[in-house]
Amino acid sequence: MDEKKKISFIINPISGTQGKEQVLKWIDERLDKEKYAQEVVYTERAGHAVEIASQKAREGVHAVVAIGGDGTINEIARSLVHTQTALGIIPCGSGNGLARHLQIPMEPKKAIDIINEGLIDVIDYGKINEVPFFCTCGVGFDAFVSLKFSKAGRRGPLTYLEKTLLESLKYRPETYELEMDGSTLRYKAFLIACGNASQYGNNAYIAPQATLTDGLLDVTILEPFTVLDVPSLSFQLFNKTIDQNSRIKTFRCQTLRIHRSKPGVVHFDGDPMMMGNNIDVKIIQKGLQVIVPRTTGKEASNVLQRAQDYINGLKQLNEIFVEDITQKNKMIIDKGKEQIKKLTKI
């Protein structure tokens, strides 16, 4: 009888918006015990998953499965690059960008079934100033929002949308100098996103043409825009067509240097980090083994899922806009009442 393959499940207990105990029950019920020997390890602090995954790779386990979001996946994957240990994903995060790009189901039961199938692909990954990323990285507004989001007490897509809408009213574009493939360009930009994968998460496609196996970065530059542009940009972001917007510039390259006038925040897979004036981004080809679904016949169902996700996203946006407008109107009315009181006392 063949020896069972060892799989380590690493759980981030605080990622996302759902508990993990039910996921553990499903793993115990559905994982193919004839094929795999399992263990479960909990992370205790930021960066702990890096250490655990590194140890498991040294032990030569077949796969390390991330039960969490893109931050947990990043920590685990960076320890598995250029090893024989594969990354598995059971999405439990706020955005789940890499899982969605790979068409891994958001339902944990179905994600476990994909692990049972055991199909492995080898994907590219990126580095921003030598910090690995697997989905997207960038500077500008999205990095600024990731910093605000990391400080929020609540998690989930609604919190992210709230931060995005509130901060977009105050954020000012910066001027960047970009060097790639022997040429230099200057842009005044709201954000610059570098995609290995196509989306931030929650089916927000910032680099809709990106693939994980072409050895290229897909760079998206959002130029300054007005409030009139917001509806079309929002629609196209979720409709996988943002690269068709007139405010967007896109190109592909293997390496990119971004120069800005002062140090500031960047993000990698949604996590913020402070970096200097010069930011070097590059792609590393075929560096990570990942357990993936068989794609045959999946695209039709994914179109329906994307449509539903898009509708849900619009509902959330509408709720926030209405709440924001209501709050502003209340402030105006209250201020008006104060002015009337002052005038009646004169």
Proportion of the chain in helix, strand, coil states, percent, rounded to 5: 40, 30, 30
Residues of the domain holding 222: 131-284
Residues 172 and 72 placed together within one structural domain of the fold: no
Kindly state whether residues 98 and 138 are assigned to the same domain.
no
Cα 200 → chain centroid: 4
Q: Are 78 and 178 contained in the same domain?
A: no
161 belongs to a structural domain: yes
Give the DSSP per-residue string, 29-77.
Answer: HHS-TTTEEEEEEE--STTHHHHHHHHHHHHT-SEEEEEE-HHHHHHHH
Q: pLDDT at residue 340 above 50?
A: no
Do 143 and 261 lie in a common domain?
yes
pLDDT at residue 169, as a whole number: 66
Given 65, 93, 118, the domain boundary residue is: 118
Q: Let me know whether 78 and 189 are in one domain.
A: no
Q: Which residues contact 92 (CB under 8 A, 6 or more apart)?
A: 12, 15, 16, 18, 20, 23, 67, 68, 69, 108
Does residue 341 surpass a pLDDT of 70?
Answer: no
Asked if residue 272 and residue 162 are part of one domain, the reply reads yes
Assigned domain for 295 exists: no
Q: What is the average pLDDT across 155-173?
A: 61
Mean pLDDT, residues 145-168 taken together? 58
pLDDT for res 234: 84
Residue 59 is predicted with a pLDDT of 97
Greatest mean pLDDT among 40-44, 163-167, 234-238, 313-317 lies in: 40-44
Q: Which two tokens stand for residue 223?
A: 């130029």
Tell me, yes or no, whether 43 and 154 share the same domain. no
Spatial separation of the C-alpha atoms in residues 268 and 74, rounded to whole Å: 9
Q: Are residues 165 and 278 in the same domain?
A: yes
Average pLDDT over residues 251-272: 95
Whether 66 shows a pLDDT value over 60: the answer reads yes
Number of separate domains in the chain: 2
Q: Out of 58-62, 66-70, 150-154, 222-226, which region has the weakest mean confidence (pLDDT)?
A: 150-154
- Separation between Cα atoms, residue 184 and residue 67, nearest integer Å: 41
> What is the predicted pLDDT for the residue at 334?
60
pLDDT at 202: 86
Residue 143 and residue 106 share a domain: no
- Within this chain, do residues 278 and 145 fall inside the same structural domain, yes or no? yes
Least confident stretch, 26-30, 207-211, 230-234, 313-317: 313-317
Computed from CA positions of residues 187, 192, 198, 199, in that sequence, does the dihedral angle turn out positive or negative? negative
**Contact call for residues 159 and 149 (beta carbons, < 8 A):** yes
In this predicted structure, the answer to whether residue 179 has a pLDDT above a threshold of 60 is yes
- Strands 217-222 and 191-195, sheet pairing: antiparallel
Check which CATH number belongs to the domain holding 268 and give it. Answer: 2.60.200.40
Same domain assignment for residues 32 and 89: yes
pLDDT of 29-49, one tens digit each?
Answer: 999 999 999 999 999 988 999
Kindly report, residue by residue over 318-327, the tens digit of the pLDDT: 554 445 445 5
Mean pLDDT of the chain: 84
Q: Which of 4-8, 19-23, 152-156, 214-218 has the weakest average pLDDT? A: 152-156
Choosing from 87, 118, 149, the residue where a domain stops is 118
Q: Clarify whether residues 140 and 273 are in a common domain.
A: yes
The pLDDT of residue 183:
86
CATH number at residue 29: 3.40.50.10330
Of residues 295 and 111, more confidently modeled: 111
* CB-based contact 62:35 (threshold 8 Å): no
